[in-house]
Structure 1
Amino acid sequence: MYRFLLTPRWWGIHVFVLLAIPVCIFMGSWQLGRFEDRVQSHNAAEKAPDPATRKAEPLASLLPVDQRTSGRPAAARGRYAEQFLVPGREVDGKTGSYVLTLLRTDGGKVLPVVRGWIPKGTKAPAPPAGEVSVTGELQASENAGSDGVNAAGGLPPGQVGMISAAALVNLVPYPVYDAWVTLPSADAGMTPVPAAAPQNSGLDLKAFQNLGYTGEWFVFAGFVVFMWFRLVRREAEALEDAELGLAPEPDATSADTTADTPSETPSAPLPG
């Protein structure tokens, strides 16, 4: 009865099932691994010491920025150069602008430094003159569309939409570090900007989305197996019915209609 499973059409179905199940299991395991990484990063962040109590390290020793070095205090020396405003940023529930000043280091490369936050319509204080030493919490360059960051194209001169080397390198004549720091204290008239959590870390909504996707992929794998058994059963039942000679009964309505239809054979003429 099950010889149909060896037909070419069914071989194609078998191959699809054998490929779909491992793919679903792999994708579900990958999403589960991402959720576990988020849990580990969250636990590590909970156990990490307060950045204010940690010793600052040279900037070069913390680059490139990753989940391990993000938020750690970095130290750099240089002279402040160009200054920009980053509009549309919230601090304590209020919208304003970051005051972003570029620190030109001895090597000629500049480090973006967020010196503080100011309310909308407020003039940014000028940066200190001469050589300065800064210590701030290290952050990775922002990407448009991530964590509410908007590139905000078409801004007036002196403003940038996001803090990234890609956005600043077109505005200044020297190379820019692919990182930035936010100072723990701000000058008068500005509010310090707290460091943000590293991207793709912590138990946020995206983390639980990964957990939801894990369940979906395993459900897909089970659905593939269920449909395979269902198709096999339907095919076997159809072949069994065919062998028993079972056929659908004639429609009673059509039979009655046929019986009531007058014969088309002309009747014999009556004798005159």
Structure 2
Amino acid sequence: MYRFLLTPRWLGIFALTLVAAMVMVLLGNWQLDRYRERDAINKRIDAATEIAPVPLTEALPGPGDAAGTAGQAPPEETAWTRVTATGRYDSNNIILVRGRTVNNQVGFEVLTPLILADGSAVLVDRGWIPPAPEGANARPAIPAVPTGEVTVVGRVRMSESRPDTPQRRDGQIETRRISVSRLAAELPYPSYGAFLLLDEQTPAADPAFSAIPVRHENNWQNGGYVVQWWLFALMTLIGFGWLARREAHGEPSDAAKHEDRVGDDPVPVGPAGHSPTSAQNG
């Protein structure tokens, strides 16, 4: 009954079905990997609030010796680790990060180099400030840095994707995306290869700053895509089986039914009950 499956036509349909199903399974597996990656990030974010901070030098690779360079970026699993560092803020090289939204308002994040005892620095995101009353393009009032020695506790953050080139406007460094290596090139000392999102500071941080909200990754979206792609693969295989069964049991396709109707049309009958063909033959 199913010998027709060995014909070239059905073998071709079966091959296309398998290829389509395999592609959908692979897409589901890719989404599963993304789900696991994002789930691991969320677990690190949650764990960071419960674990005591470690010294900066234990979490991040050290910077090089050359000024204007950034050290090696740490492994991805280091992200969100809470670290502590002590140094002095460099008020001459504050960096404004444009176009940052907090509580549905677009403003600026303020990165400030913290110069450590060995002369190297780590960038610290001190928080968010609103735009100037004159508009988003006007320079905002930046809270002054504490004088003297400062101890910070912050979470390790990696450079952001799609970085732009930092610019200086009236001597002020500005950027849209945080790329540690590109920002380090603007600084007169070596820098660590990641930056810190400030949690705590001694002396206390200026109340003009708003804390940067820590957003968890939407891993459940990827989980939904996994189920979706795998269901599509299963439905593709089931669809092939349904077509094969329909063919085996002699259920004609819509095209075949149309051809049958055309073939069964009655022959027109001419005068005296004779068809045109019979009349010509006569």
TM-score bracket for this pair, using the shorter chain length: 0.5 to 0.7
Q: CA deviation at 1:210?
A: 0.9
Count the aligned residue pairs: 245
Partner of 1:269: none
Q: Distance in 2 between matches of 1:191 and 1:180?
A: 18
Identity of aligned residues (%): 30
Alignment partner for residue 70 of structure 1, among 64, 80, 101?
80
Question: Which structure's CA Rg is the greater one?
Answer: 1
Matched to 2:35, the amino acid is F
Partner of 1:225: 237
Q: Distance in 2 between matches of 1:235 and 1:155?
A: 72
Please list the CA deviations of residues 174-206 of structure 1 after superposition, one character each: whole Å capped at 9, or x if unmatched: 544332123324544632534624xxxx4x5x3
Gaps of at least 5 residues in structure 1 are 266-272
- 1:123 maps onto 2:141 in alignment: yes
Partner of 2:13: 13
Q: CA deviation at 1:120?
A: 1.6
Q: Distance in 1 between matches of 2:121 and 2:232?
A: 50
Partner of 1:89: 100
- 1:251 maps onto 2:251 in alignment: no
Q: Distance in 1 between matches of 2:122 and 2:80?
A: 15
Q: CA deviation at 1:65?
A: 5.8
Q: CA deviation at 1:162?
A: 2.3
Partner of 2:209: 191
Q: Retained in 2: the 8 A contact 1:71–1:195?
A: no
Partner of 1:112: 123
Q: Distance in 1 between matches of 2:228 and 2:107?
A: 41
Q: Report the secondary structure of 1:117's partner residue.
A: strand
- 1:163 maps onto 2:170 in alignment: no
**Compared CA separation, residues 134 and 120, structure 1 to 2 (3 A):** same
* TM-score normalised by L of structure 1: 0.67
**Compared CA separation, residues 188 and 162, structure 1 to 2 (3 A):** same
**Compared CA separation, residues 238 and 93, structure 1 to 2 (3 A):** closer
Alignment partner for residue 59 of structure 1, among 45, 56, 59?
56
Q: CA deviation at 1:102?
A: 1.7
Q: Report the secondary structure of 1:86's partner residue.
A: strand
